[in-house]
Amino acid sequence: MIMTEERSNHLPHIGIVAGTADGAALCYRTLCHEAERRTVGQAYPEITMHALPLEAYLASIDAGDWAGVAALMSRSASLLAQAGADLIICPNNTLHCAFDLVVSPVPWAHIAAAVAAEAIRRNYRRVGLLGTQVTMQGSVYQPIFEHHGIEILLPPVPTRIELDRIIRTELIRGHYLPRSWAYVQDLISTMAASSGVDAVILGCTELPLLLSGKPVSLPLLDSTRLLASAALTTSFLVSPP
């Protein structure tokens, strides 16, 4: 895993800026279970979560108003800091497109940095990326991975459009349909056969729930769980402007 295996009960107070319900819930559960595995006893970290209406985020995203997205995230960050959070995470890949515009009184763990650390640990040099259109085509993953010499490959444009539709109309509403599971499974199999990738980034926090632990043809880099794991150490912290 990402952090060292220290058996300690000294855990940070973690603030969660929630985007979608299922992604935030998966991150919360992972934080608790991973902390329990790494510490003595059931030493869950102190966790405070703040959520603004998802519609507010989606309206700003659809308008291309990333300053508006950052303002919402900054509002949550301020409230989490007031609650005593030592660090903040956001288990939502798309919202990280606004990361550099966020104003926060406490540091954050960046989701792509957590995923990159695991890719480096496994010595991956070429990885696929699945997520919303803005996540796949934006600046969440590419700069961090390029800095470490890891190439990112994307599905063809029509596939990206359909995957974005599945995420936006189904997954963020908690609908995990067999046909969508089959679509993503086939997409990963195609990347394995034709792209020469070492692994695939699940760059949508609900994709792990859609795949639900079923075997796939490539190793997976689960951004939700890797972010939660990274939050239990301080080596991934960065401070937005």
Between CA 81 and CA 61, with CA 26 as vertex, the angle to 5 degrees is: 65
* Amino acid at the residue 102: V
CA distances from 162 to 22, 183, 202 (A): 21, 9, 16
Burial 97-125 (b: 16+ CB within 10 A, else e): bbbebbebebbbbbbbbbbbbbbeeeebe
Rounded Cα gap, residues 5 and 179, in angstroms: 39
Q: How many residues does the chain have?
A: 241
Rounded Cα gap, residues 204 and 219, in angstroms: 16
What is the per-residue pLDDT for 36? Answer: 82
Rounded Cα gap, residues 114 and 116, in angstroms: 6
- Collapse the DSSP code of 158 into the 3-class scheme (helix H, G, I; strand E, B; otherwise coil) and give the result: helix
Q: In the chain, which ranges are E strands? A: 14-18, 47-51, 87-89, 108-109, 126-130, 151-153, 199-202, 220-222, 237-238
Cα-flanking dihedrals φ and ψ of residue 222, to 5°? -85, 105
List the CATH code of the domain at 14-111+226-238. Answer: 3.40.50.1860
- Per-residue tokens: 13: 């107070």
- Do 127 and 102 form a contact (C-beta atoms < 8 A)? no
Q: What is the pLDDT along the chain (241 residues), one digit of tens a residue?
A: 233 333 345 788 999 999 999 999 999 999 998 888 776 555 778 999 999 999 999 999 999 999 999 999 999 999 999 999 999 999 999 999 999 999 999 999 999 999 999 999 999 999 999 999 999 998 999 999 999 999 999 999 999 999 999 999 999 999 999 999 999 999 999 999 987 899 999 999 999 999 987 889 999 999 999 999 999 886 555 666 5
What angle do the packed helices 223-230 and 21-38 form, to 10 degrees?
50
Show the DSSP H helices in 11-154 as ranges. Answer: 21-38, 54-62, 66-82, 111-121, 133-137, 142-147
Domains of the chain by residue range: 14-111+226-238, 121-223
Burial class (CB in 10 A: 0-12, 13-18, 19+), 139: middle
Distance between terminal CA atoms of the chain?
29
Q: Do domains 14-111+226-238 and 121-223 have the same CATH topology?
A: yes
Fold adopted by 121-223: Rossmann fold (3.40.50)
